[in-house]
Structure 1
Amino acid sequence: MSFLPITSDEMKQRGWDRPDFVFVTGDAYVDHPSFGVAILSRMLEDEGFRVAILAQPNWRDGEDFTRFGRPRLGFLVTAGNIDSMVAHYTAARRKRSDDAYSPGNKAGKRPDRAVITYCKCIRACYPDIPIVIGGLEASLRRFAHYDYWADTVMPSILMDSGADLLTYGMGEKQISLIAHRLAAGEDIHSMTDILGTCYLIPTRQYSPGPVKECPSLERVQQSKREYAVAARIQQDEQDAVRGKTVIQRHGGMILVQNPPMPPLNQEELDRIYELPYERMFHPSYEKEGGVPAIQEVEFSITHNRGCFGACNFCSIAFHQGRQVTCRSEASVLREAEKLTKSPRFKGYIHDVGGPTANFRHPSCKGQLERGLCKGKKCLAPKTCPQMEVDHKEYLAMLQKIRALPKVKRVFIRSGIRFDYLMEDPDETFLKQLITYHVSGQLKVAPEHCSAAVLDKMGKPHIETYRRFAKRFYEITKSIGKKQYLVPYLMSSHPGSTLKDAVELALFLKKEGIHPEQVQDFYPTPGTISTAMFYTGLDPYTLKEVYVPKKPEEKAMQRALLQWFMPQHKEKVLEALRRAGRSDLIGTGPNCLVAPGKPFQNGGGQKGKHLPSGRKHAVGKGRNAFGQTKKKKGR
């Protein structure tokens, strides 16, 4: 095994005069199956193509884009594993100083809107060469979309980039078809029949057929209601079984989205994840301190794809899709055995998961024949009665991984759907999860406690989380361990008023949860929540939704989640007054904050157990009261 070439010298060492494809990426080159570039490049290599990697090229001049000469078949372009604007800016639009996907964790190695910039550089060097764009940035920006950073509706990224084709979703089948057809001499502009792709065509050349038409670019730019309508159509047709061709007019051009490509089946997934990855960043980055993103995934295993949870603020449903597919147990075990042979392996497998760790099957048999239900969710606000819950296969696989020589512990860190778990009448998996697969803390995502806000998030109501937390701590206590839940919480999501934020603060106080970190809602392209943020409308009802947008209110909502911190006292006081909850200002046990100085948190003092005797973890290495915990076994 060896890394694919990233320089002309490395290419020549392989005896190539030029590559078939140059793969341009905004990330550093990490040859690991958690990186899309690694998967697609290794797949093309396996199918006989020569692929060179152009990682984080200098976009300020064109020299880097000619590093390998003119590729025989074309350029493949991605911003990397995440949207370049998310990589660069916080939810408050502040510039980030770090980038886990860059050498030395240093920001500034890629441009804003990387896909557009890279494509323009390529076009300047090779005006007529085929360019295919893909990855998360291109996938989520395939239609006219609201861009939070520019605070405007932008056209499809195909328009701005000048690329020939866009692959959306996971991309393996699309890229393989495109590569083989280019190799056979086919013009890329004739490739209008490939599922999971988008292309542009002049209006005068388009032949209408059985399609779903979104409101045009011009209409969604002028009308927020039309934008909401378009967002719903795009989400509803993101189904590999029943999804239709979707079109959207952009001036004199029409954006055509072919129906989604069916997800890889088990045999195909096994093949993809067992390609000869180096499972490490390119050695040239060693002198800069390596690439931090490898740390969480080097000894992690992906066993599934897709998520039928489909939270409204999450991009997975619009990118990977809601249909869950999984690798075979045998393939996962082979990967686990390979990990144990690495000289860097210390006995700990950090994760056996995916978008949602405990999904191994479709939510019901009906979705395989009819697709997932349009406009409905499998788990929210209540679990669908057709849901089939079964952890037996996942549990058996984890047990076999634990039994491998050299394996000390197997953790699950990529997220457990506790609502799905609580529907399983057999508690065997829950008990083994808590006994064997929690590294002191288990991250779960209730996100909020207000039913109104959770409905806008597409999440189950908080009662489910309460039941789960109760059993978690009961089982933890019964086995004599000290383990904690780390709940993910979000402030200022569409639908959240100051009163909802106060309700969440009261919930956190009652449950003894003192979060050290909380996340403001981040309006990323392509999600239903972002459509609500921009339009102030729910795309599924077209009814108005309250959206906290003013920085002052967002800061107050965030402060309420950390009501116990002295530095937030002024904002908490103002929030309580504005919410009409001055009754919570005082020194009594039911109050959140005391007036005046010194700051008092009205209960839950540091070091004091709550009446329930339970504590929730709130940050790395700390318990609910901010006290440092000793780690065992690591």
Structure 2
Amino acid sequence: MLIYAMPARFLPMTPDEVRKLGWDRLDIILVTGDAYVDHPSYGAAVMGRVLEAHGFKVGIIAQPEFKNAQAFKRLGKPRLFFGITAGNMDSMVANYTAHKRQRKTDDYSPGGKPGLRPDHAAIVYANRVREAFKDVPIVLGGIEASLRRFAHYDWWKDEVKRSILLDSRADILVYGMGETQIVDIAHRAAAGNPFSGIPGTALIAKSLDNEQNIIEIPSYEEVKADPDKFNEAFISILENQDPFRGAVIAQKHASRYVIQYPPALPVYGKELDAIYELPYARAWHPSYDKDGGVPGFETVRFSITSHRGCPGSCAFCGLSLHQGRIVGSRSEASIIREAAALRKRNDFRGTINDIGGPTANLYGASCKKWEQSGACPKKHCLTPFPCKQLDPGFQKSLSLFGKLGALPGIKHVFIASGFRHDLLIDERSREYLEVVCKQHVSGRMKVAPEHSLPHVLKLMNKPDFSTYEKFSKLYRSMSKKLGKQQFLVNYFISAHPGCNLEDALSLTLKLKELGIHPEQIQDFIPLPMTLSGAMYYTEKDPFTGAKLYVAKTFRERKMHRALIQYKNPKNTPLVREALAMLKKEYLMPQLMPGRTRG
């Protein structure tokens, strides 16, 4: 296990920091669109520490000035390669709102300052590196590269774009959680060996002569011209995202091919523990002190990642595609060691703000099939109902929570991540729910019903709304039993494909009936390589070919959101406009008493 006892230091960001380490040259330079925060929640830090643990000399260039190549020469030419990531988020999501307006703040930048990362950052950075060093290998990684590895629909440009591999001129792309791949690439680069055949990677080839058992999907030119071909390609990609049965996939772009090798195996147990126990400084780089630090770090400063992977497969989300459907959990001992280390920090006040993963209540989750044959190809783990073969791991979670709470100096262990409410309504979850409500919810539990109508929820791959209603009653009952005043933070999505204005109104009336006034509304954004993104672009269900209604004008999208948040006085004009379009103005007094005018 790669655990360090030495005092944590930052990976070098300047030539002076490199010299102080006694190095004359770096092996690998990582370029990131985020500020450099040396914490396991930041991808560049994880990759850097993993490579360092394997003996490589690694430096970081964070948020370089991108209008010319000068900043990319700061640390010199690396011996092996440049690794490039747009950051923890797709740069277009980071830079723009759901209405394509530039964001006023950026939580991953020093002082929250916007504009420090370019649009399509991975492409821009890679091309600047090419300008600076024509012959250096370039490795792409991170969620932006991962979800754009094939021809994909780009909502911001409203067009089908070719693989990011071609526009970036990179040598290889790492998709998914990339620790295993990046180490393999580094060793191959050091030995002068080719990059072909590495699980969890994609690259460009002139022919398919050297590949076996390959599936060729419709070409870039075909998917750009024909929405049905787009969906055909999408389904083939989706069906080959399991590391146990995934095939090699090729997609032609003009005279070249994008070749994707099967996904890498998930990282489990001691290997996962080792990644999170590397010597992170758990702080932003000191150069950001003058800006007041990096806002996004505050949400994870005293948080612990307990597991990876999400079996939910929500249609609109990239997490299952990026982290995989198989849950990999850290050992109890590893998490306790991390909590014990947090206690020693001068700024720790006794509260662990969050312990979780993509889904809060799946630590220790297991399925007999996962380790032997992967996730089921024809069934979902959680929809329409949780599979009986899935063990959510509640007893493991309770054991962990108890031991963390017993540590001297730990006053509270909270769970701030979102819960799957459909896993909390049967009898076997009762003890877990009671303990969580009693000790680990700081007054508000996050859940995501997303919508109320069956046909919309089915397209989202979410459970029926009756499941949420059952859980909501159970939660209120549990809180009352415990003598606590606790609330649900309900997340909904507006303007998802398949949802028209009438459907949005139906949701509004249901929420009013239940006395729910949601604050957390996500305006739907069609992310690359997601099922919902394919629905948005093609206006069809990729699996059935059925036509779908899609709200595409910003005006209508705003009306969808306004209806859900009808209690907000600012939404009065949009609610009135929506009701007029539906010829249901008579509902105005019911939704907005006293606001029938103006």
Q: TM-score range by the shorter chain?
A: over 0.9
Contact kept? 2:356, 2:363, Cα under 8 Å: no
Which amino acid is 1:63 matched to?
A: Q
Tell me by how many angstroms 1:362 deviates.
Answer: 4.9
Q: CA deviation at 1:455?
A: 0.7
CA drift at 1:83: 0.6
* Farther off after superposition, 148-157 or 366-375: 366-375
Letter in 1 for 2:117: R
Which residue of structure 2 lines up, in the alignment, with residue 593 of structure 1?
592
**Residue type matched to 2:32 in 1?**
T
2:393 equivalent to 1:425: no
Distance apart, 1:124 and its partner CA: 0.8
Q: Counterpart amino acid of 1:337?
A: A
Shift of 1:517: 4.1
Displacement after TM superposition at 1:503 (Å) = 1.2
Partner of residue 88, structure 1 = 95
Which residue matches 2:275?
A: 272
Corresponding residue for 1:130?
A: 137
**Structure 1: how far apart are the matches of 2:387 and 2:187?**
42
Secondary structure class of the residue paired with 1:358: helix
- Offset, 1:280: 0.5
Residues 365-384 of structure 1 correspond to what in structure 2 (within 5 A)? 365-384=368-387
2:363 aligned with 1:356: no
Deviation at 1:335, TM superposition (A): 0.3
Q: Distance in 2 between matches of 1:250 and 1:56?
A: 31
1:379 deviates by 1.4
Q: Which amino acid aligns with 1:564?
A: K
1:436 equivalent among 433, 439, 451: 439
What is the alpha-carbon distance in structure 2 between the residues aligned to residue 436 and residue 544 of structure 1?
47
CA contact (8 A) 1:536 1:544 kept: yes
Give the corresponding residue for 1:518. Answer: 521
Alpha-carbon offset, residue 573 of structure 1: 2.3
Partner of 2:202: 198
Partner of 1:51: 58
Q: Is residue 308–residue 363 contact of structure 1 (8 Å, CA) maintained in 2?
A: no
Q: Quick one: distance in 2 between partners of 1:423 and 1:133?
A: 43
Q: What does residue 493 of structure 2 align with?
A: 490
Structure 2: gaps (5+ residues)? 1-7
Counterpart of 2:534? Answer: 531
Q: In the alignment, which residue of structure 1 is the partner of 2:178?
A: 171
Using a 3 Å threshold, how does the CA distance of structure 1 residues 422 and 596 change in structure 2: closer, same or farther?
A: closer
CA distance in 2, matches of 1:390, 1:10: 44
Once the two structures are TM-superposed, the CA of residue 595 in structure 1 deviates from its matched residue by 7.9
How big is the shift at 1:552?
2.0
Distance 1:84 1:516 in 2: 25
The residue type paired with residue 591 of structure 2 is L
> In structure 2, what is the equivalent of residue 619 of structure 1?
none
Query: Aligned to 1:58, what secondary structure does the other structure show?
Result: coil
State whether residues 364 and 394 of structure 2, in contact with CA within 8 Å, keep that contact through their aligned partners in structure 1. no
Find the counterpart in structure 1 of residue 330 from structure 2: 327
- Higher mean displacement: 567-576 or 222-231: 567-576
* Partner of residue 4, structure 2: none
Q: In angstroms, what is the RMSD of aligned CA positions?
A: 1.5
Q: Deviations over 1:463-518 (max 9, x none)?
A: 11111111111111111111110101110001111111111111211221112342
Opposite residue 574 of structure 2, the aligned amino acid is K
Q: Kindly provide the amino acid, as one letter, of the partner of residue 542 in structure 2.
A: P
Whether the 8 Å CA contact 2:314–2:462 is kept in 1: the answer is: yes
CA distance in structure 2 between the aligned counterparts of 1:244 and 1:45, rounded to whole angstroms: 32
| In 2: Cα distance, 1:463 partner to 1:246 partner | 40
How many residue pairs align between the two structures?
591
Cα distance, 1:410 vs. partner? Answer: 0.8
8 Å CA contact retained: 2:572, 2:595:
no
**Shift in Å, 1:426:** 4.2
Which of 211, 215, 238 aligns to 1:212? It is 215
Whole-angstrom distance in 2 between the partners of 1:579 and 1:366: 49
Give the secondary-structure state (helix, strand or coil) at the position aligned to 1:568: helix
Distance 1:208 1:33, change over 3 A: closer
CA distance in 2, matches of 1:124, 1:497: 48
Q: Could you say which residue in structure 2 is the equivalent of 1:119?
A: 126
Alpha-carbon distance in structure 1 between the residues aligned to 2:556 and 2:597: 24
User: Residue 625 of structure 1 corresponds to which residue in structure 2?
Assistant: none
CA distance, structure 2, for counterparts of residue 40 and residue 95 of structure 1: 29
Instruction: Name the counterpart of 1:630.
Output: none
Matched, 1:237 2:227: no
The correspondence for 1:284, drawn from 271, 287, 300, is 287
The amino acid across from 1:133 in the alignment is L
Letter aligned with residue 455 of structure 1: K
- Tell me which residue corresponds to 1:301: 304
Secondary structure at the counterpart of residue 237 of structure 1: coil
- Work out whether residues 490 and 520 of structure 2, in 8 Å CA contact, stay in contact via their aligned partners in 1: no
Q: Is 2:224 the partner of 1:224?
A: no
Q: Which of 579, 584, 589 lines up with 2:582 in the alignment? A: 579
Aligned to 1:563: 566
Residue 181 of structure 1 is aligned with which of 178, 183, 188? 188
Aligned residue in 2 for 1:2: 9
Match of 1:340? 343
Deviations 1:13-60 (A, max 9, x none): 111111000111011100000011111101111111100101111111
Mark the CA change 1:134 to 1:370 in structure 2 (over 3 Å): closer, same or farther. same
Specify whether residues 364 and 509 from structure 1 end up closer, same or farther in structure 2 by C-alpha distance, changes over 3 A only: same
Q: Secondary structure at the match of 1:293?
A: helix
Shift of 1:407: 1.0
In the alignment, structure 1 residue 97 sits paired with structure 2 residue 104: yes
Q: Distance in 2 between matches of 1:393 and 1:402?
A: 14
1:248 equivalent to 2:247? Answer no
Structure 1, unaligned runs of 5 or more: 600-634
Corresponding residue for 1:614? Answer: none
- Structure 2 distance, partners of 1:70, 1:524, is 34
Secondary structure, aligned partner of 2:535: helix
Aligned residue runs from structure 1 range 13-92, under 5 A: 13-92=20-99
Does residue 1:475 correspond to 2:474, yes or no?
A: no
* Equivalent residues in 2 for 1:499-510, closer than 5 Å: 499-510=502-513
* Residue 374 of structure 1: how far off its partner (Å): 2.2
Q: Given the alignment, which residue of 554, 557, 575 partners 2:557? A: 554
Offset, 1:424: 5.0
Distance in 2 (CA, whole Å) between partners of 1:460 and 1:287 is 47
Q: Which amino acid aligns with 1:364?
A: C
* Worse overlay, 573-582 or 522-531: 573-582
CA distance, structure 2, for counterparts of residue 265 and residue 399 of structure 1: 23
Deviations 1:283-307 (A, max 9, x none): 1100011001110101100010000
User: Are positions 1:144 and 2:147 aligned together?
Assistant: no
CA contact (8 A) 1:389 1:424 kept: no
Shift of residue 376, structure 1, vs aligned partner: 3.1
SS of alignment partner, residue 427 of structure 1: helix
Counterpart secondary structure, 1:509: helix
Q: TM-score, normalised by structure 1?
A: 0.91
Q: Percent identity?
A: 48
CA distance in 1, matches of 2:296, 2:595: 45
In 2: Cα distance, 1:319 partner to 1:419 partner: 23
Q: Aligned pair in 2 of structure 1 residues 424, 364: CA closer, same or farther (>3 Å)?
A: farther
Alignment partners' CA distance in 2, 1:567 and 1:38: 42
TM-score, normalized by length of structure 2?
Answer: 0.96
